[in-house]
Chain A
Amino acid sequence: EAQVTQNPRYLITVTGKKLTVTCSQNMNHEYMSWYRQDPGLGLRQIYYSMNVEVTDKGDVPEGYKVSRKEKRNFPLILESPSPNQTSLYFCASSSPGPSSNEQYFGPGTRLTVT
């Protein structure tokens, strides 16, 4: 089954404790992206990757890191989480072409930073 998986689905942590949210896709997509969803703000892009070893900042990259060592995986790293990073996070992937932004989304990771 074609899918994007994220782990964990729910996470409660404390300020300053490093964490990683994993994302994996099995569709051989080149493009992968991370978004955060906040009430009234819709989805905002954090980072994206056009292919292996190619990453770039989205609209709200501060406080986040990513890596793309393999095509299928695109982990999101919070080196020192803060309460303003409490949010719902989505990973997405797509393949190039005219419909390249028909993105496939993971189920989401709800992060709470206290």
Chain B
Amino acid sequence: AQSVTQLDSQVPVFEEAPVELRCNYSSSVSVYLFWYVQYPNQGLQLLLKYLSGSTLVKGINGFEAEFNKSQTSFHLRKPSVHISDTAEYFCAVYPNQGGKLIFGQGTELSVKP
């Protein structure tokens, strides 16, 4: 069985500061990895994904994530955040042999001026 742990439920940060949202997963099989973002009062939208190849993945809005197989992590980073990045972020895994998408508990990013 797969599971996803997002290590921080809330991350407050000042505008233009760097941020890292942490995600660890456990799985006995190879997985695809995703980050979704949920802006206030909206549904989720895909931020970036790792399927294979380069372990550094770039997504929309200047976000990137690095897949670390030995540490079973897929942390999300942005070098300089904006007020508009305030949202909830979800890490998710999907076993590449099939199954279902498993979400983490979510991390609420709050960017302050």
Same complex: yes
Chain A residues proximal to chain B, CB less than 8 Å: 4, 35, 40-45, 48, 58, 90, 92, 98-103, 105-108
Question: Is there an interface contact between A4 and B49, defined as CB atoms closer than 8 Å?
Answer: no
Binds A, one of B12-20, B78-86, B96-104: B96-104
Chain A contact residues, majority secondary structure = loop
- B46 surroundings in chain A (CB, below 8 A): 102-103
Question: Is there an interface contact between B90 and A43, defined as CB atoms closer than 8 Å?
Answer: yes
- B100 surroundings in chain A (CB, below 8 A): 45, 48, 58
A-B contact sample (9 more), CB < 8 A, given A35-B103, A42-B105, A102-B46: A4-B43, A98-B51, A99-B49, A99-B51, A103-B101, A106-B43, A107-B41, A108-B41, A108-B43
Restricting to B49-98, which residues have a CB under 8 Å from any CB of A?
A: 49, 51, 90, 92, 94, 96
- A103 surroundings in chain B (CB, below 8 A): 44, 46, 101
Question: Is there an interface contact between A40 and B105, defined as CB atoms closer than 8 Å?
Answer: yes
- A100 surroundings in chain B (CB, below 8 A): 94
User: Which residue of chain A has its CB nearest to the CB of B45?
Assistant: A105
Question: Is there an interface contact between B49 and A102, defined as CB atoms closer than 8 Å?
Answer: yes
Question: Is there an interface contact between B101 and A42, defined as CB atoms closer than 8 Å?
Answer: no
User: Which residue of chain B has its CB nearest to the CB of A90?
Assistant: B43
The CA-CA distance from A107 to B40 in the complex, in Å, is 10
The CA-CA distance from A98 to B92 in the complex, in Å, is 15
Question: Is there an interface contact between B43 and A105, defined as CB atoms closer than 8 Å?
Answer: yes
> What are 20 A-B interface contacts by the 8 Å CB criterion?
A4-B43, A35-B103, A42-B4, A42-B6, A42-B103, A42-B106, A45-B100, A45-B101, A48-B100, A58-B100, A92-B44, A98-B96, A99-B49, A100-B94, A101-B32, A101-B34, A101-B101, A105-B43, A107-B41, A107-B42
